[in-house]
Chain A
Amino acid sequence: MYAPQLEPMAPRLYRIQRVRRETEDTFTLEIAQAGGAVPTRFAPGQFNMLYAFGVGEVAISISGNPGTPETLVHTTRAVGVVTNAMSHLKPGQVLGVRGPYGTSWPIREAEGNDVVIVTGGIGLAPLRPLIYHVLEHRERYGKVVLLYGTRTPEDILYRREIEQWRGRFDLEVLITVDRATGHWRGQVGVVTKLISRAPFDPYNTTAFVCGPEIMMNYAVEGLQKRGVPSDHVFVSMERNMKCAIGLCGHCQFGPTFICKDGPVFQYDKVERLLAVREI
């Protein structure tokens, strides 16, 4: 895990290098530090606070390759005022960046195990750095399985990259959509259905889960049914983050703060809290 800069509330200036439309409402920004300063390293699963000047700041997971930190990559969906403003930014324009913040996926602890990644919708973005890392150090892991569910075929993120991953012999990629449209000939149904047929050894598996909370709950249930122990399952939580350093309390989740104690949690540590509606 990498700690943020000494002045945690002061954003650094990053220039947009590239904007990529992923789906109708989702886009990816590739940004590099203005002035060519030393790149800020990050660990898979961590997030940055992105500041659209004059509009506001939002927490966005880093979705790029941790091996090439000179370019930060963030995929986000245009759903609010800030992300909508960001979706209109062009290459050459400037963003404020604070971070990286939060806990990361335990990639070292997973070495020697099979790796199962269960994700839905835009939940693939925070897991992509983990996938890059695992593929770059493929010999350290057993079977690697990516189970990905989306709303429709048009909502599949990183389509070209997923096609490349599907072409590999050392990575099993299973995709399903909730609603088939057009000429889709793949799987239809919820992502949790894929868990029962995925090839992995449940007793020697580390599972990484990210997506809507309801999907994560049922994904964990499916993993447990297969025999994966709860302490081998990690989830990435999402709450309204503001300061990102555990001061403001906006992202308080029971006794924890998502921004500094999370966003990645070992499932058995938050299982009880997930059942409490009031938080």
Chain B
Amino acid sequence: MVTNVGVKEMLLEHEFLRGLDPEWMEKLAEFTYTDSYYPNDYLFRAGEDADRCLLIRDGNVALELYDPRRGSVTLDTLSGNKVLGWSWLIPPCKWCFDARALALTRVLAINGPRLLQLMEEDHILGYAMLKRFAFLFADRLHAARLQLMDMYAPLR
């Protein structure tokens, strides 16, 4: 059993939240729990309710999209200190991809609706969190565009 104090320390250590007010981490710790997944376990599947903000502590997770012709296609992989998904933040709050553990993966799972409520109530915290997510969106969008470039393809 991981105590609230232990969870708070883990939240403070996570790269995504580093630098945020420790008092906020105390509040987040109240509705955050730890979870772990073995290789090939699904953390979530496309279409399911996105009700958790998942912060990967360590491990490796594949984001997959199922194509009836090709089966599951891995679009991206995420490892320790990364954020896994933001569908909990954007209505209708359904996961858009499957997330499958490739190795033993430990996460911090923050209750999505409770976090949203806290962000609404405390606008300073809400702004600080959204700013971090904005950087994350930009980073992932940028990487996805580079992948789309197919930059290693030969110029013929």
Contact = CB atoms under 8 A, between A and B. Distances in A.
Interface of A: 25, 77, 79, 120-122, 149-151, 155, 176, 178-180, 184-190, 192-193, 197, 211-212, 214-215, 218
B79 A190 contact: no
Contacts of B102: 185
B62 interface: yes
B3 interface: no
Interface of B: 60, 62, 73-77, 79-81, 102, 143, 146-147, 149-156
A185 B77 CA distance: 10
14 contacts: A121-B152, A122-B152, A151-B150, A178-B150, A179-B147, A180-B74, A187-B77, A188-B74, A188-B75, A188-B76, A189-B77, A189-B143, A192-B146, A214-B146
A214 B79 contact: no
A193 B149 CA distance: 16
A192 B146 CA distance: 10
Given A79-B154, A121-B152, A190 B143 contact: yes
Contact of A212 (B77, B81, B151): B151
Contacts of A155: 152
A79 B74 contact: no
B73 A180 contact: yes
Nearest to A179: B147
A192 B76 CA distance: 13
B135 to A, nearest CB: 12
B65 to A, nearest CB: 11
Interface centre among B149, B151, B152, B155 (most CB of A within 10 A): B152
Contacts of B80: 197
Contacts of B153: 151
- Leading 7 A-B pairs by shortest Cβ distance: A121-B152, A180-B74, A151-B152, A212-B151, A190-B146, A188-B77, A79-B154
A271 to B, nearest CB: 19
Which has the most chain A C-beta neighbours within 10 Å: B74, B75, B150, B155? Answer: B74
A218 B146 contact: yes
Nearest to A197: B79
A192 B143 contact: yes
A270 to B, nearest CB: 19
Contacts of A77: 154
A188 B152 contact: no
